[in-house]
Amino acid sequence: MPFIIAVDGPAASGKGTISRALAQHFGFYHLDTGLLYRATGAKGGDPIASAQGLCADDLTRPDLRSAEAGQAASRVAAIPEVRAALVDFQHRFARQDPGAILDGRDIGTVICPDAAVKLYVIASDQVRAERRAAELNADPGEMLEQLRERDRRDSERATAPLRPADDAAVLDTSDMSIDQAVARAIAIVEAARR
């Protein structure tokens, strides 16, 4: 049985960086599930049809890391039919041997509720805004506003809202370096593998 790690949290909390590092450390497959929603939103047109027709090549678009793609992802992720169309893709991905790490907003609560390890990565709003602004060469104040709007939309949606799983380990990266956050996540996973 594959070892599944679910990593959830709001935008710019560090979940993607931590997930990629965990995948490299343990030799597991990694899926940034946000890319599925970003690609669906970026394709335009009918979001349900876009989600149903999504292919691996759609996940390699260079514009998927833009703020616009993030906002589009949050909008289409609120559509239950879009979420349903992407769930099978995520389930198949999670069942790969020797293991898989999926990061997103509802992995531990909806997609892989039986994951061996569930992490919920957070950071203060200000830290997240500064990180995202540096990543996109944007205004931190504008990023703060966008992140709060996205958090509100993601947390209040009726289908699979952003929230930690009851049994998730919460990892606050606000005052951690990348190396410290990754080391803490590795320790949590190693403790679960014993």
Q: Does the annotation flag 11 for ligand binding?
A: yes
Beta-carbon contacts of residue 123 (< 8 Å; ≥ 6 apart): 12, 13, 14, 131, 172, 173, 174
Q: Does the annotation flag 9 for ligand binding?
A: yes
Q: Does the annotation flag 15 for ligand binding?
A: yes
Q: Does the annotation flag 14 for ligand binding?
A: yes
Q: Does the annotation flag 17 for ligand binding?
A: yes
DSSP state at residue 3: E
Q: How far is CA 49 from CA 46, 53, 86, in A?
A: 5, 6, 11
Residue 111 and residue 91 in contact, taking contact as beta carbons nearer than 8 Å = yes
Return the sign of the alpha-carbon dihedral for residues 179, 155, 34, 100: positive
Q: Does the annotation flag 41 for ligand binding?
A: no
Cα separation of 185 and 171, whole Å? 8
Cα separation of 39 and 47, whole Å? 10
Burial pattern 115-126, b for ≥16 Cβ within 10 A else e, equals bebbbbbbbebe
Q: Does the annotation flag 23 for ligand binding?
A: no
Residue 172 and residue 123 in contact, taking contact as beta carbons nearer than 8 Å = yes
Q: Which residues are documented as binding site?
A: 9-17
Q: Which residues are documented as binding site for ATP?
A: 9-17
